[in-house]
Structure 1
Amino acid sequence: MERSLPLFLESIGYSAWERVFQRPEGYPYYHWLHTLEGEGRFELLGQAVRLTRGQGVLLTPFAPHSYYPASDRWSTIYITFGGAAAEAIMEALHMNSSTIYEEGEGPSFGTLFNDLFRRIERTPSHSDIDVSTDLYYFLMQLRKFGMLNHEPSLSQYYQRLAPIVGWMEEHLADNIGLPEIAAHAQVGIHALHELFQQAFDMSPYSYFIQLRIREAKKIILQHPERALREVAEQTGFNDVSHFVATFRKKEGITPGKYRDLHQTVDQAAVTERRGWSETVGEERVEEAREE
Structure 2
Amino acid sequence: MEQIKGLKDIVLNAHSTHLTHYMFTLSEYDLPLYMDSIGYNPDQESIDRTKGYPNFHWLQTLEGEGEFQLNGRLYSLPPGSGSLLFPGVPHSYSAKGGKRWSTLYVTFGGSLAASLLGSLGIRHTEWLHWNEDAPITSQLLSMIEQVKQDDDRTGLNASALLYRFLTMVKIYGQKGGRSSVYQHLEKLDPLLHWLDVNYGDPEIGLTDMAAQLDISPRYLNSLFRQAFGITAYAYLIRLRIIKSKEMMSFGDNKRSIKEIAQLSGYRDPSHYISAFGKAEGMTPEQFRKLHGLTP
- The interval holding the TM-score normalised by the smaller chain is 0.7 to 0.9
**Cα distance in 2, alignment partners of residues 107 and 234 from structure 1:** 38
Query: 1:122-133 residue pairs with structure 2 within 5 A?
Result: 122-124=149-151, 127-133=154-160
* Percent identity of equivalent pairs: 34
Query: 1:203-218 residue pairs with structure 2 within 5 A?
Result: 203-218=231-246
Q: 1:252 — aligned with what?
A: 281
Q: Which has the larger Rg? A: 1
1:12 has 2:42 as partner: no
Which residue of 94, 101, 108 corresponds with 1:68?
94
**Cα distance in 2, alignment partners of residues 13 and 168 from structure 1:** 43
Q: 2:190 — aligned with what?
A: 163
**Cα distance in 2, alignment partners of residues 238 and 83 from structure 1:** 48
> Which deviates more, 205-214 or 135-144?
135-144
The answer as to whether partners of 1:104 and 1:152 remain within 8 angstroms in 2 is no
**Cα distance in 1, alignment partners of residues 238 and 132 from structure 2:** 28
Give the 3-state SS of the residue equivalent to 1:104 in structure 2: coil
Query: What amino acid is the match of 1:214?
Result: I
Query: What amino acid is the match of 2:102?
Result: S
Q: What's the CA shift for 1:15?
A: 2.1
Q: What's the CA shift for 1:29?
A: 0.6
The answer as to whether partners of 1:4 and 1:84 remain within 8 angstroms in 2 is no
1:201 has 2:229 as partner: yes
How many residues were matched structurally? 266
Query: What amino acid is the match of 1:187?
Result: I
Query: What amino acid is the match of 1:247?
Result: F
Residue by residue over 1:107-162, the C-alpha shift from the partner in whole angstroms, topping out at 9 and shown as x without a partner, is: 45431221110111111356421111011111122222222213222222222211
Which residue of 168, 191, 212 corresponds with 1:184?
212
The answer as to whether partners of 2:199 and 2:239 remain within 8 angstroms in 1 is yes
Which residue of 29, 35, 59 corresponds with 2:55?
29
The answer as to whether partners of 2:136 and 2:165 remain within 8 angstroms in 1 is no
RMSD: 1.8
The answer as to whether partners of 1:101 and 1:148 remain within 8 angstroms in 2 is yes
Which residue of 114, 130, 138 corresponds with 1:111?
138
TM-score (norm 1): 0.85
- Consecutive unaligned residues of structure 1, counting only runs of 5 or more, are 272-291
> Which deviates more, 184-193 or 220-229?
220-229
Query: What amino acid is the match of 1:197?
Result: R
Residue by residue over 1:240-274, the C-alpha shift from the partner in whole angstroms, topping out at 9 and shown as x without a partner, is: 2111110010011101111222245xxx3xx3xxx
**Cα distance in 2, alignment partners of residues 173 and 10 from structure 1:** 48
Query: What amino acid is the match of 1:120?
Result: V
Q: 1:286 — aligned with what?
A: none
Residue by residue over 1:20-50, the C-alpha shift from the partner in whole angstroms, topping out at 9 and shown as x without a partner, is: 2222322111011111121221122432121
Query: What amino acid is the match of 2:88?
Result: F
Residue by residue over 1:29-75, the C-alpha shift from the partner in whole angstroms, topping out at 9 and shown as x without a partner, is: 10111111212211224321211111111111112222122132122
Q: 1:49 — aligned with what?
A: 75
TM-score (norm 2): 0.84
